[in-house]
Amino acid sequence: MKPRKLKANIYWVGAVDWDRRLFDELIPLPDGTSYNAYLVKGGEKTALIDTVDPSMTNVLIDNLNHLEVKNIDYVIANHAEQDHSGSLPQILKLYPTAMVVATPKCKDLLMNLLLIPESKIIPVEDRETLSLGDKTLEFIHFPWVHWPETMLSYLREDKVLLSCDLFGSHFATSDLYVIDEATVYDAAKRYYAEIMMPFRTVIQGNLKKIEDLQIDVIAPSHGPIYDKPEFILEAYRDWVYTPPKNIVVLPYVSMHGSTKKMVEYFVSALVERGVTVKQFDLAKTDIGKLAIALVDAATIVIGSPTVLVGPHPNVVYAVYLANALRPKLKFASIIGSYGWGGKMVEQIKGILSNLKVELLEPVITRGFPKEENLKALDKLADEILDKHKEHNLID
Ligand code: FEO
């Protein structure tokens, strides 16, 4: 795709990666992604905001050629991760007088990850400004979205916030701006869940730094641009600040039907009590869907059989992920089965160590669930409802 104009002398010059299906060899990308870079031509100086993934350097260079960019004075590196900084070495070769602008921590990372010489990097402090002539860039240190060195760049005169990974979405589209809000909402929520949620409490504090900015446009590093910024700001306020909702997330695996029977019974019991349930068969599910569900849930109940004396490996993976993502969960429990013994419950509890949750009494059956086991599931459903009521999580 060719360069796209955002405002006078501000252009999107990034690359759309329609076909990428995995990020960090871990995160599914059902809708591809984009690596957004922006060219800002001031009256006196020209700045390139971020670069693109090294696999698409040629696209960025084509875009710069298309705009007949003869000189770049500054490359602003909001983030050192390679999907944004990976083309820096080639850009510095093409524009040898360009200087890189970054936070001090980013400077250190760029030197180590990409071997950029120290003499090529200008470190900037929080709220420092850089004049391009008739346009002013203000740098806002915003650590942990989602690395320690990240910053946002704000174009004061044009009121454009170049927000790095913050507010982004892995969503390949030919639309420069958000057109279909419902689709982008889902993609942005998936992105938040997988990338930003572990740093939710830090983001809570840092969002205050942009509360007073006048923002016409939010231009993130992935996905379409927000020309109605309130859409994504409001979504983040909900995801970051508001208490969890009356929802149970239930990831499970069943090998021979015992745990499955418990899950079916338990889901019905919760629904009868007015609790929303999101059930995921971990043998088949897209782990990103589970991450999205965790954004709003008050309770996680993990369903597992016992395999080689412990939880099923797919359950271990999902619980490890839930623990790493640090969602707003308040309660957790475990349901499942065993044949002759094991330490399934103890091992799952051990993996949940990051989560500040109250653990509700697990329900574990020997073999297929019997009447007393189903009664115990009813009791657990009652307890979850009571806890959600006590914490005012029910509308
Ligand atoms: Fe899109 Fe953290 O890189």
Q: Which residues pair with 75 in a beta bridge?
A: 48, 100
- How far is the CA of 149 from the CAs of 130, 135, 192, in angstroms? 19, 24, 18
The atom of ligand 1 lying closest to the CA of 146 is: 2
Report whether residue 170 contacts ligand 1, using a CB cutoff of 6 Å. no
Residue 330 Cα to ligand 1 midpoint, Å, equals: 29
Report whether residue 206 contacts ligand 1, using a CB cutoff of 6 Å. no
Nearest residue (by CA) to ligand 1, atom 2, is 81
Q: Point out the domain boundary residue: 215, 241, 267.
A: 241
Same-domain check for residues 340 and 373: yes
Domain of residue 265, CATH code: 3.40.50.360
Same-domain check for residues 80 and 190: yes
Does the residue 395 lie in any domain?
A: no
Nearest residue (by CA) to ligand 1, atom 3, is 81
d(CA 61, CA 65): 6
Q: DSSP state, 257?
A: S
Q: Point out the domain boundary residue: 226, 241, 256.
A: 241
d(CA 265, CA 375): 10
DSSP 79-127: --SHHHHTTHHHHHHHSTT-EEEE-HHHHHHHHHHS---GGGEEE--TT
Residue 146 Cα to ligand 1 midpoint, Å, equals: 7
d(CA 3, CA 235): 29
Report whether residue 53 contacts ligand 1, using a CB cutoff of 6 Å. no
Same-domain check for residues 189 and 82: yes
Report whether residue 50 contacts ligand 1, using a CB cutoff of 6 Å. no
Q: Point out the domain boundary residue: 241, 269, 302.
A: 241
Same-domain check for residues 223 and 256: no
Report whether residue 222 contacts ligand 1, using a CB cutoff of 6 Å. yes
pLDDT in tens, the chain (395 residues): 899 999 999 999 999 999 998 887 778 889 999 999 999 999 999 999 999 999 999 999 999 999 999 999 999 999 999 999 999 999 999 999 999 999 999 999 999 999 999 999 999 999 999 999 999 999 999 999 999 999 999 999 999 999 999 999 999 999 999 999 999 999 999 999 999 999 999 999 999 999 999 999 999 999 999 999 999 999 999 999 999 999 999 999 999 999 999 999 999 999 999 999 999 999 998 899 999 999 999 999 999 999 999 999 999 999 999 999 999 999 999 999 999 999 999 999 999 988 999 999 999 999 999 999 999 999 999 999 999 999 999 98
Residue 290 Cα to ligand 1 midpoint, Å, equals: 21
Buried b (16+ CB within 10 A) or exposed e, 314-333: bbbebbebbbebbbbbbbbb
Does the residue 338 lie in any domain?
A: yes
Report whether residue 20 contacts ligand 1, using a CB cutoff of 6 Å. no
Give the range of the structural domain holding residue 264, as residue numbers without chain letter: 245-390
* Contact (Cβ atoms closer than 8 angstroms) between residue 37 and residue 219: no
d(CA 191, CA 236): 11
Report whether residue 165 contacts ligand 1, using a CB cutoff of 6 Å. yes
Report whether residue 83 contacts ligand 1, using a CB cutoff of 6 Å. yes
Quote the pTM value: 0.95
How many domains, in total, are found in the chain? 2
* Nearest alpha carbon to residue 147 among 200, 106, 182: 106
Six-digit token string for 155: 């174009």
Same-domain check for residues 234 and 283: no
Radius of gyration of the CA atoms of the chain, in A: 24
Same-domain check for residues 14 and 127: yes
Q: Which residues pair with 27 in a beta bridge?
A: 23
Same-domain check for residues 161 and 236: yes
Residue 321 Cα to ligand 1 midpoint, Å, equals: 19
